[in-house]
Structure 1
Amino acid sequence: MNFYFSTRHIPALKGLPLAERVKRLDQAAKKLTVPEKTLLNILKLLVIVPVFVLILQTASNWTSLLWALLVFLLYPLLVKPIQNSMSAKYLAPAPEKENA
């Protein structure tokens, strides 16, 4: 499985505008199987739960709030590439443009 950090790098979406890439990727994400969706949701929880744990620790250590912010900012960097990679296999190839 290839990891796609940007929708521009997905072969089936090359040459499409951003709005169309996002639309097709969203449609492909809806086709994920139950085990794939479960795995993705568990991954999301593994990223989100530590943020709340760190926020709860701010009563005794205010720097944990900074760590919570850092973990929260890393969320898209961890989850999106995996979601894009899992959804990419459900994308139909981009239609070829005819040169007239």
Structure 2
Amino acid sequence: MKIYISTRKIPGLQNLTLTERMAILEAASKNMPIPQKTILNILKLLVIVPVFVLLLKVSENWWALAWAVLILLLYPLVVKPLQYSMSVQYLPKQINKDNE
């Protein structure tokens, strides 16, 4: 599986506007089978759960709040490329034909 950091790098979507690319990727992610959606959601949880654990530790250590904020800022950098990469397989057939 190739990792796409930006929607501009996805073959077949380069010439579209950002809103068009996002709409197409949203539709593609809805076509994902349930096991892949589950894996993606578990990966999201693995990124989010440490934030809540760190927030619970704020009463003991104020640096935990800084770490929680850092993780929240890095969340889109970790999750979005995975979501894009998993959704590419389910792009509409017309876009996939353009790639071949």
* TM, length-normalised to structure 2: 0.91
Q: Which residue of 2 aligns with 1:45?
A: 45
1:55–1:68 contact (8 Å) kept in structure 2: yes
Tell me which protein shows more helix as a share of its residues: 2
1:24–1:91 contact (8 Å) kept in structure 2: yes
Report SS of the residue matched to 2:4: coil
1:57–1:64 contact (8 Å) kept in structure 2: yes
Q: Deviations over 1:1-60 (max 9, x none)?
A: 110000000002110011100100000010011110000000010000000000000000
Report SS of the residue matched to 2:90: coil
Mark the structure with the bigger radius of gyration. Answer: 1
Change (3 A) 1:37 1:67: same
Q: Deviations over 1:62-81 (max 9, x none)?
A: 11000000011111011100
| Aligned-pair Cα RMSD in Å | 1.4
Matched pairs, number? 96
Report SS of the residue matched to 2:91: coil
Q: Which residue of 1 aligns with 2:22?
A: 22
* TM, length-normalised to structure 1: 0.91
Q: Output aligned runs, 1:51-90, within 5 Å.
A: 51-90=51-90
Q: Distance in 1 between matches of 2:90 and 2:33?
A: 10
Percent sequence identity over matched residues? 56
Moved over 3 A (4+): none
| Residue ranges of structure 2 left out of the alignment (5+ in a row) | none
